[in-house]
Structure 1
Amino acid sequence: MTRIIGSLAEVASDYDVLFCDLWGCVHNGIRAYPAAVAALQAFRGGGGQVCLMTNAPRPAAQVEASFERLGIPRDAWDVIVTSGDAAQDAMFAGAVGRKVWHLGPAKDDAFFEVPPEWKDAAPIERVDLEEAEGIVCTGPFDEENEAPEDYRARLMIAREKGLGLLCANPDIVVDLGERRIYCAGAIAEFYTELGGESLYFGKPHPPIYDLARRKLGIREGARVLAIGDGINTDIAGATGEEVDSIFITGGLAAEHMGADVENPDAAQMDEWLRQRLIAPTFAMGRLR
């Protein structure tokens, strides 16, 4: 049974490390949640380490560059690990070939910048779909207006060519303020439904957790707590990694958790989780 808690402080002393999701937990795409920031600062103040773990399809440095605008201070975290980092490693290793069709907005161009560790690798060339050996998907071209169905014809061509699709962000949707938008994970899921092959590197898949442990230098036996609002990404990933978790019910699943976004209705939450056959260790409305 998932235990509802009022704050991170109630359980913080039982853990050494946080793997904390960003969008939906620390910010809403427009601004940071002050209570969430304070909770992370307090955890670090008590000697804990915080890894901000996001399925953003961009390198960590680019994600960090947005923090001043969002209002996330430097003392709230130790390292940032992104799906973009883990997927970028796979791309430069040639997971979907070296000539790729980039399906994604221009803001994700940094994904193709060569990191120092890959400076001697053969280059990745972005080409039209007709010339491609594979697809790198960072999201829709127009993420505020397009849906996976808009890509049916092009994805069917890719399927017939036998192209693998590298998904740089396994999230299906995120909330941009009050608006819900599709992510790369929705396109990858649709491509799989059409019979194509999709490759994933962010939450809930192991590569991003391996990268987080390396960047933090986590000692053996460290007690890890994962925090997130994505039941199929953050919480499923924690389950797969065999670490405890806090499900933030006031994020993507808020409409199913009762009228008060800050305090989930226990009966509604338990039924919703039961239907999904998953049981987070803890739950709270918003991170605080």
Structure 2
Amino acid sequence: MSTQLDGIRDLAERFDVFILDQFGVLHDGTAPYPGAVEALVWLKQAGKRTLLLSNSGKRSAPNEARLAKLGFVSGSWDHFLSSGEVAWQSLRKQLSNEAGLRCLLIARDGDRSAVEGLPLTLVDTGEEADIVLLSASEGDRYDLDHYRRLLQPAAARGIRCLCTNPDKIMLTSVGPRFGAGRIAELYAELGGEVAWIGKPFPEIYAAVLDLLGRPEPSRVVCVGDSIEHDIAGGQGAGLRTALVMTGVLETSSQAERDRLFAEHRATPDFLVRTFAW
């Protein structure tokens, strides 16, 4: 049974280290949630350590720049780690002896930050690719059949696919749409092999805890809006979890949330209506 709390202040009385999701907790992709900017600042002033952990296929620096543009106070968090950053660092090591691989990059708005500085040659079709990198979805512009046609040739040839944004639902200006994680599922359905980097998978939590200096797990709480990613991932890493009722769950019923708790075998320790003090 989850404990209902009034706000982030109640969590601050219980924990010293906060691992916070970005989309759906701090902002909706276009603007901060009411009170979120101030809550981050107050956590900092209360002496709490905060790490923002995002299933963004972009590297950490572009994500932090976007937060500043949205009105968040630079320096009000201690660390930012994205799945795209973890993937980029891993690929840099893996590709040191594989320069020139042809990469089909699935991203948004022509963004190339996921591969900048890597020895990859970008191509436009699955027929040409030696590797597929799924960093984002344009599910608000294309349907799944678009991605099926694009990816089928690569999957049929056994080309490896790396998904650096496991979110299956994303928030857009026109409402929730399928995310890069759903495209990765499609790739697997087409017979391709997918490697996942991000929440809820262990690799990214190992990187987080290393970055934080291996704090006492009982003093750490993961705050998120996704049961599948934030709650299951945090619990899998042996950490306490808090679920906010914004983001992907904003219009969900209690019955729907209970179904997701059962499906992912993950019930949050705490429930908070929104990320506000």
For normalisation by structure 1, the TM-score amounts to: 0.86
2:162 aligned with 1:166 = yes
In the alignment, is the contact (CA less than 8 A) between 1:55 and 1:203 conserved in 2?
yes
Aligned pair count? 271
In the alignment, is the contact (CA less than 8 A) between 2:168 and 2:178 conserved in 1?
yes
Correspondence for 1:5: 5
> 1:91 Cα shift?
2.5
Correspondence for 2:87: 87
2:219 aligned with 1:216 = no
In the alignment, is the contact (CA less than 8 A) between 1:167 and 1:199 conserved in 2?
yes
CA offsets 1:70-90 (integer angstroms, 9 cap, x no match): 111124211110011011123
Correspondence for 2:76: 76
> 1:51 Cα shift?
0.5
Name structure 2 gaps, 5 residues minimum: none
Correspondence 1:123-142 to 2 at 5 A = 123-128=119-124, 129-140=126-137, 142=138
Structure 2 CA distance, aligned partners of 1:25 and 1:76?
15
Structure 1 CA distance, aligned partners of 2:86 and 2:79?
14
Off by >6 Å, runs of 4+ in structure 1: none
> 1:108 Cα shift?
2.6
Correspondence 1:4-153 to 2 at 5 A = 4-94=4-94, 98-114=101-117, 123-128=119-124, 129-140=126-137, 142-153=138-149
Of stretches 248-257 and 43-52 in structure 1, the one that deviates more from structure 2 is 248-257
> 1:131 Cα shift?
2.7
Aligned residues with identical type, % of pairs: 30
Residue of 266, 270, 275 corresponding to 1:282 = 270
Structure 2 CA distance, aligned partners of 1:37 and 1:134?
39
Letter in 2 for 1:133: D
Letter in 1 for 2:183: I
Structure 2 CA distance, aligned partners of 1:109 and 1:175?
21
Helix, strand or coil at the partner of 1:11: helix
CA spacing shift, 1:57–1:7, aligned 2, 3 Å: same
2:180 aligned with 1:180 = no
Name structure 1 gaps, 5 residues minimum: 258-264
Helix, strand or coil at the partner of 2:142: coil
For normalisation by structure 2, the TM-score amounts to: 0.89
CA spacing shift, 1:247–1:164, aligned 2, 3 Å: same
Structure 1 CA distance, aligned partners of 2:211 and 2:80?
9
